[in-house]
Amino acid sequence: MTFGAALRPPATIPGMTIPPPDPYGHGPAGPPGPPVPAVPAPYPPPPYYPYPPARGTNTMAILALVFAFVFAPAAIVLGHIARRQIRETGEEGDGMALAGLIVGYIFTGISVLACLGYLVVVIVFIGAASTAGTV
C-alpha cells in the first residue's frame, strides 16, 4: 500500500451514498453504544431546613444599658423588667440587661456617695460658720 492509496476514498457500493466529510475533521459517528445504566446518587440530597426566625433583642435591655449612662436609677428598673421579660419570652439581650443593671447600680452608688459627701461638706461649713462668729 502506498501513501497515496490511503488518501483515496473507499470504493462505493452501488445504491449507497457516502456522507460528506465533516468540516471539523471528525469522522462519521459510529453505531450507538450500549445504553448507560442510570446510577442513583449514593446519598439523597440533604433536606432543606430554613433558618429559624431570629429572636430579637429585648427593647428594655437596650434601654437599660442606654439609661445606665443617662439616668442610672431608671436603668436599674428597666434592667430588672428586661431580665424578667427575657426569662419569660426567650428573647436575646440578657447580657445587655445585666450590664445595664451593673452599671446602673455602680453609677447610682457613686451618685449617692457624692450626695452624702456634699451634704457632709455643707454641714461642716455651716457648723464652722456658726462657731466662727462666737468667740
pLDDT tens, position by position, for the chain (135 residues)? 555 555 555 555 666 676 666 677 666 666 777 776 677 657 777 788 888 878 899 999 999 999 999 999 999 999 999 999 999 999 999 999 999 999 999 999 999 999 999 999 999 999 888 887 665
Question: Which residue has 426569662 as its cell numbers?
Answer: 87
Q: What is the DSSP letter of 34?
A: P
pLDDT at 106: 98
pLDDT at 21: 67
Which amino acid, 102?
I
- The Cα angle at residue 111 between residues 110 and 112, in degrees rounded to 5: 90
- Alpha helix locations (H) across the chain? 3-7, 59-70, 72-89, 94-132
DSSP string, 112-124: HHHHHHHHHHHHH
Q: What is the DSSP letter of 134?
A: -
Instruction: Find how far residue 65's CA is from the centre of its chain.
Output: 22
pLDDT at 51: 82
pTM of the full structure? 0.58
pLDDT at 4: 56
Distances (CA, A) of 89 to 20, 36, 57, 85, 94: 79, 58, 11, 6, 11
Instruction: Name the grid cell of 15.
Output: 445504491
pLDDT at 95: 97
